[in-house]
A and B are shown apart, each in its own frame.
Chain A
Amino acid sequence: MQDVSAAVLCEGLTKHFGAVRAVDDLSFTVELGEVVGFLGPNGAGKTTTIRVLLDLIRPTRGRVEVLGCDPRRGSAELRRRIGYVAGDLAMYNRLTGHELLSFLGALRGNANLQPARDLAARLDVPLDRPVGTLSRGNRQKIGLVQAFAHQPDLLVLDEPTSGLDPVSQRTFRVLVREATARGAAVLLSSHVLSEVQRVADRVAIVRAGRLVTIEPMRDLEAKALRVIEIRFGGPVDVAAFANVPGVRSVDIEGDLLRASVAGPVDALVKAAARFTVDSISGHEADLEDVFLAYYSEATGAAA
């Protein structure tokens, strides 16, 4: 029996374009009900991998299963259960939103366009104008509407929030949570961490076609450096914080201490408690640093 809960399974996926290895021995899974962030710099092989899942391109080697099916054999019936937003989204620019959605509905054999219209209203995107005349953000919203409206079991989203305003980005996150709440799986590709940080359960990092790591978001966050600022009642000595566990760097200007901390901040707070503390502020874990560390690590390994 195969793993029925895996929405996406790649094992040793390899794709060559001529001499270029776009994807090289990539293995990962996406389980039903989870969001996997798919991170990597431009040209890392994310889009190539995604196109294999949609059967737009065929792998050179490796085993790929989407919702328990080989994408090639599953073909149209399999894609019925997938919602897809392409990275360079090109839709039929001369059709209006209404026309486009009704055409897509016809391809699905689905006459009920109400869910799509409701979703368009939630995202506040006009459907009465040709898609080509819309702003980039509004076109992206139509891409989201056609991907989410039929409640697919798997959502494959290639940089889906590019061009979206903050309000729509929030709506997007709600849509993703609604999808996972009913058991759908989401593969969310991006080259920026902040795009996936708030929604992903796990993160797969790829570079130069290879998987660098795949791990839970909170493990990644635990590795992230946090900047803590503490304002004291009077001047303090930097030596008091030099050997505090977890503190990577510390800097004091008068009565203001600024420290970079990896993991729990407990030791730092206890060290500070010996002095008079006016205020403590912390910045959100900066995963960009972890991310960059992985990239440069991978670069080092490749070099």
Chain B
Amino acid sequence: MLLRSVFAKTIYDRRHGLLWWSVGIGALTVATLSVWPSVHDEYQKLVQNYPETLLAFFGIEKGGLGTAAGYLQAELFGLMLPLTLIAYMIAAGSAATAGEREAGTLEFLLSQPVSRTRVLVQKCLGLCASLALITAAFTVVLIASTRLFDLSIAISQLLAATFSAYVLAVLFGMVAMLAGSLTGHRALAAGIASAAAVAAYLLSSLAALVTGLQRFRPLSPFWWYSGHDPLRHGLEPLHIALLLVAVLICVVAAIVAFERRDLA
């Protein structure tokens, strides 16, 4: 039975969304990678004509030009993949408590013999598990597509980059959860988390161009996600640890806020 706990119900409630997000992100991946055989000769010339500042903005290093890793970073991992996963998690995270409050069902749920902390933690875990399912579907399509369309890149590098994107999206989902627990309003929570994600993205990418910003770059979660270029160098433990610590802080803060506020 799929309704054994708040955790299970969180996933069960998202089952249709899970399917469509997986299909969408899979289609995007296939479309992006399928053009590689026809462009990879031209690609090197193409990007060499881009202004260097633009390349830096998208996190493409000179050394990565024309390689499969550089292409994937520029076309998929630089923006599209994190954007999609983050959008899913912000929508889900802001709906989790603030959305239920607005629908009136939070009162019903919390009048049952289940503590607020338990509800919040199980919802967080449910969202992380649902994102893991989408990410897993993406990973399967990604690996199959790299093999099908001749992108030469090690599976371990793909897993490293995908895992980094997963943790990044979890972080912004938890930011949405925290904002939802603080404000109680779904749209506001989604707005706050989106603004945080955009700010983090701009900080990381603009820092490549603006010398004054350079020293703030290590503060951006987007930098923790891709600053070490996981498609070429694998995971950087420090950056993953920073992301996980930030996730933990958001969850603990969300619990504290959720325990304190009036919920009706």
Residues of A within 8 A of B (CB): 51, 54-58, 75-77, 79-80, 82, 84, 86, 88-92, 94-95, 99, 102-104, 106-108
Indicate if the CB atoms of B107 and A76 lie closer than 8 Å: no
Interface residue? B111 (CB, 8 A): yes
Q: How many A-B residue pairs have CB under 8 A?
A: 65
Q: What is the distance, in angstroms, from B123's C-beta to the closest C-beta of chain A?
A: 13
**Contact B262 A90, beta carbon cutoff 8 Å:** no
Q: Which residues of A contact B108 (CB under 8 A)?
A: 86, 89-92
Say yes or no: A86 contacts B115, CB within 8 Å: no
Which residue of chain B has the shortest Cβ distance to A150 in the bound complex?
Answer: B113
> Which residues of B are found within 8 Å of A58, using beta-carbon distances?
260, 262
User: Which are the 5 A-B pairs with shortest beta-carbon distances?
Assistant: A90-B104, A57-B262, A80-B113, A103-B3, A84-B111
**B62 within 8 Å of A (CB atoms):** no
Q: CB < 8 Å: which of A54, A102, A108 contacts B111?
A: A54
For B92-128 the 0/1 string (1 means CB < 8 A from A) is 0000000000011101101111111010000000000
- Is B140 part of the contact surface with A, judged by Cβ < 8 Å? no
Please judge, given known A-B contacts A54-B111, A76-B114, A80-B113, whether A103 and B105 are in contact too, CB under 8 Å: no
- List B contacts of A57 (CB < 8 A): 262-264
B contacts with A, residue count (CB < 8 A): 24
B5 is an interface residue with CB less than 8 A from chain A: yes
For this complex, 21 residue pairs linking A to B, each with C-beta atoms less than 8 Å apart, are: A51-B264, A56-B263, A57-B262, A75-B116, A76-B113, A76-B114, A76-B118, A80-B113, A84-B111, A86-B107, A90-B104, A90-B107, A92-B105, A103-B9, A104-B112, A106-B5, A107-B5, A107-B6, A107-B112, A107-B114, A108-B112
Task: Report the Cα distance A160→B263, complex, angstroms.
Answer: 21
* A79-B55 Cα distance, complex, nearest whole Å: 58
Taking A89-B108, A102-B1, A107-B6 as contacts, is the C-beta distance between A79 and B113 under 8 angstroms?
yes
* Residues in A whose Cβ lies below 8 Å from that of B263: 56-57
In the bound assembly, the distance between CA atoms of A76 and B118 in angstroms comes to 10
Q: Is B4 an interface residue (CB 8 A)?
A: yes
Chain B: minimal CB distance from A81 (Å): 8
Contacts A51-B264, A102-B3 known; A107 to B105 CB distance under 8 Å? no
Cα of A56 to Cα of B4 in the assembled complex, Å: 23
Q: Give the nearest-CB partner of B13 in chain A.
A: A94
A56 CA to B5 CA in the complex, in Å? 20
B3 and A79: CB pair below 8 A? no
Beyond the given pairs A56-B262, A79-B114, A106-B3, 8 more chain A to chain B contacts, judged by CB atoms under 8 angstroms and listed by A's residue number, are: A58-B262, A76-B114, A77-B113, A80-B113, A86-B111, A90-B103, A95-B3, A107-B113
Complexed CA–CA distance, A139 and B118 (Å) = 27
Q: Specify which chain B residues have a CB less than 8 angstroms from the CB of A106 in the assembled complex.
A: 1, 3-5
Q: Which B-chain residue is minimally distant from A156 (CB atoms)?
A: B111
Q: Which residues of A contact B111 (CB under 8 A)?
A: 54, 56, 79, 82, 84, 86
In B38-66, the 8 Å CB interface with A consists of none
Which residues of A sit under 8 angstroms from B118, Cβ to Cβ? Answer: 76
* Complexed CA–CA distance, A51 and B264 (Å): 8
- Which chain B residue lies CB-closest to A83? B111
Given A90-B107, A102-B1, A106-B3: A76 in contact with B262 (beta carbons within 8 A): no
